[in-house]
Structure 1
Amino acid sequence: MAATSNPAIRNLLTLDGAVSPAGAGPSGGASPAAGRDRPITLDDIAVKTLTVFGVLTASAFLTAFWELQFLALPALVIGPGIGIFLAVRPRPSAALALAFAVAQGVVLGEATRFFDGLHPGIGTQAVVGTGCIFAGTLAAYGTRVVRVSAKVTRWAVGTALGLLVLLLANLVASWVFGADLGLRGGGILAIVVSVAAIAAASFFFLVEFEAANRFLRSGASHRWAWYVAFGLAMTLVWLYLEILRLLSYLRWW
C-alpha cells in the first residue's frame, strides 16, 4: 500500500482504532457502543466530503461577495493551525474539519477576490480547472487507469518537500535579505514551480482515494469519514491556490 504525503491521510492509515473493525471489543466480540459506532461506508465518505466542500465553497463565496478581507489574516493562522494539529494528533472531528473548511474558505475567497480584481474572470477559470482535475483523478482512480505505486508516491512526496524548501528559501530571502529568487515572480521559473505543485497535488488526490478505499476494506468507524474529508479539502485548497497563481502568471504573458 502506497503511503500518502498528506499528513492527515498518512497518519490516518497508521491509527489502530481506524483500521480495526468498528464496534469490535478487546475479545473480538461486539463492544457496548457497537450500535452507535458502525463501520464506515462509501456514503459516509461522500456525504462528509460534500459537506466539507460545501462549507468551504460557501465560506469562500461569502468572503468574496461581502469583501470580508479583514478575516483573511486570522484565517491564515486558524486554518494551518487546525491542519497541523490534526496532522500531529489525528482524530475524526466534525467540528475541526468544518472549522478548517470555514477558515480556508476565507483564504480562498480573499485570494480569488484579489486575483480576480487584477485579472477579471480568473476565479471562474480556477474553479473550473480545480473541478476538472478532481473529477479526472477520481475517474482515473475508479477505472484503475492510474495505479498508486510506491515509486510514484515517493516522486510526489519528494516534489512536495522540494517545493516547500524552495518556497521557504524564497520567503526568507525576500523578508530577510530583500532578494527575489523568482519562484513567485511570474517568470518561467515561477510557472515551472506552479506546474510541479499542481502535478503533485493532483497525484495526492489519487493517494487519498486509495486511503479512503483502505478504510472501507478495513471496516473502520464511520466517524473517520470526517478525517478523510479533511485530507481531501487540504489538497483541494492547495491545488486551487496553485491554479489561481499559475493563471495569473499566464495573464501577464
Structure 2
Amino acid sequence: MPTTSNPAIRNLLTLDGAVAPAGPSPSGGAVGAAATDRPITLDDIVIKTLAVFGVLTASAFLTVYLELGFLVLPALLAGLGLGIFLALKPRPSAALALLYATAQGVVLGEATQFFDTLYPGVGTRAVIGTGCIFAGMLAAYHTRVVRVGAKATRWAVGTACGLLVLFLADLVASWAFGADLGLRDGGGPAIAVSVVAIAAASYFLLLEFEAADRFLRSGASHRWAWYVAFGLTMTLVWLYLEILRLLSYLRWW
C-alpha cells in the first residue's frame, strides 16, 4: 500500500522505531514513563487535530480582528521554516505543531480578508468548500469507494511537483522580467491550474487518512498524533488556499 506524499507523514513512517508499539521497557526500567507512553488511538488523532485547527482558526480570527496584517511576512517565513523542519526532522511536538498552526492562521486570515474584500462572501464559500471536500474524501476512504493506489499516488506527486515548478517559474518571471505567465490572473489557464491543484490536494487527503490508519494499526506512541495533525493541516491549508483562489477567479471571470 503506498504511503502519503506529504513529506511529514512519509518521513515519519520510515523513522526507525517511530512506529514501534508503545509499552513497558523489556528490562522493567522507566516504569513511570512507560505507563504514560500508551499506543495511539483514533481519539488521540481527532482531539489533536481539532486542537491544531482550533489554534489555526483563532489565529486567523485575531489577525483580522486586531488588524495584524503586518505580521504576514514573518508568519509566512515562520510557517515555511517550521514546515520544512518538521518534514525533514519529524518529531511529535505539540509546541511546534501549534506554533505552525499559529503562523499559518495569520497567513490564512490575511489572505481571506484580502479576497473577501474584493469579492464579499468568497471566504465563507471557501471554508464550506474545504469542509465538504474533507468530509467527502473521508467518507470515500472509509467506504473504500476511492482506493489509494500506486498509479494515482504517482499522479498526485507528479502533479504537485509540476505545480511547484510552474509557480516558481511564474514567480521568477514576474520578479526578474516583469512577465506574466497567466497562472494566477483569473483567466482560463489560471482556473485550470487551480482545478488541478484542488484535485491533487483532495487526493492527498486520502493519503493522509491512509497514513493515520497505519499509525493506528502499528501501535505507535500516542504522542505522534500531534504529527498526524500537523500533516493534515499542511494539506488542508493548501486545499483551502486553492479553493479561495478558484472562487475569486470564477467571480471575477
TM-score by structure 2 length?
0.96
Go from structure 1 to structure 2 and tell me whether the alpha carbon gap of 1:21 and 1:196 turns closer, same or farther (over 3 Å shift): same
Distance in structure 2 (CA, Å) of the matches to 1:30 and 1:22: 14
- Contact residue 23 and residue 31 of structure 1 kept, 8 A: no
Match of residue 108 from structure 1? 108
Q: Which string of whole-angstrom CA distances, capped at 9 and with x for unpartnered residues, describes residues 71-129 of structure 1?
A: 11110110111000001100000000000000000000000000001001110000000
Distance in structure 2 (CA, Å) of the matches to 1:13 and 1:144: 22
Identity of aligned residues (%): 79
Match of residue 200 from structure 2? 200
Give the 3-state SS of the residue equivalent to 1:23 in structure 2.
Answer: coil
Q: Which string of whole-angstrom CA distances, capped at 9 and with x for unpartnered residues, describes residues 108-166 of structure 1?
A: 00000000010011100000000101111111111111111111111100000000000
Name which of structure 1's ranges 217-226 and 27-36 shifts more when overlaid on structure 2: 27-36
- Contact residue 37 and residue 222 of structure 1 kept, 8 A: yes
Give the 3-state SS of the residue equivalent to 1:35 in structure 2.
Answer: helix
Letter in 2 for 1:198: I
Match of residue 64 from structure 1? 64
Letter in 2 for 1:216: L
Match of residue 52 from structure 1? 52
Pair 1:137-2:151 in alignment: no
Give the 3-state SS of the residue equivalent to 2:170 in structure 1.
Answer: helix
- Contact residue 3 and residue 210 of structure 2 kept, 8 A: no
Distance in structure 1 (CA, Å) of the matches to 2:90 and 2:27: 24
Alignment map for 1:161-240 (pairs within 5 Å):
161-240=161-240
Q: C-alpha displacement at 1:28, in angstroms?
A: 8.8
Letter in 1 for 2:172: V
- Contact residue 186 and residue 249 of structure 1 kept, 8 A: yes
Give the 3-state SS of the residue equivalent to 2:36 in structure 1.
Answer: coil
Alignment map for 1:70-85 (pairs within 5 Å):
70-85=70-85
Distance in structure 2 (CA, Å) of the matches to 1:166 and 1:158: 12
Distance in structure 2 (CA, Å) of the matches to 1:140 and 1:249: 28
Give the 3-state SS of the residue equivalent to 2:17 in structure 1.
Answer: helix
Letter in 2 for 1:206: L
Go from structure 1 to structure 2 and tell me whether the alpha carbon gap of 1:168 and 1:24 turns closer, same or farther (over 3 Å shift): farther
Letter in 1 for 2:229: A
Name which of structure 1's ranges 203-212 and 2-11 shifts more when overlaid on structure 2: 2-11
TM-score by structure 1 length?
0.96
Pair 1:14-2:14 in alignment: yes
Match of residue 158 from structure 2? 158
Distance in structure 1 (CA, Å) of the matches to 2:58 and 2:231: 19
Distance in structure 1 (CA, Å) of the matches to 2:21 and 2:165: 39
Q: Which string of whole-angstrom CA distances, capped at 9 and with x for unpartnered residues, describes residues 177-208 of structure 1?
A: 11111011111000011011101111111000
RMSD: 1.3
- Contact residue 18 and residue 215 of structure 1 kept, 8 A: no
Give the 3-state SS of the residue equivalent to 2:61 in structure 1.
Answer: helix
Distance in structure 1 (CA, Å) of the matches to 2:115 and 2:144: 36
Distance in structure 1 (CA, Å) of the matches to 2:28 and 2:209: 30
Distance in structure 2 (CA, Å) of the matches to 1:55 and 1:139: 25
Letter in 2 for 1:244: L
Letter in 1 for 2:211: A
Match of residue 43 from structure 1? 43
Match of residue 244 from structure 1? 244
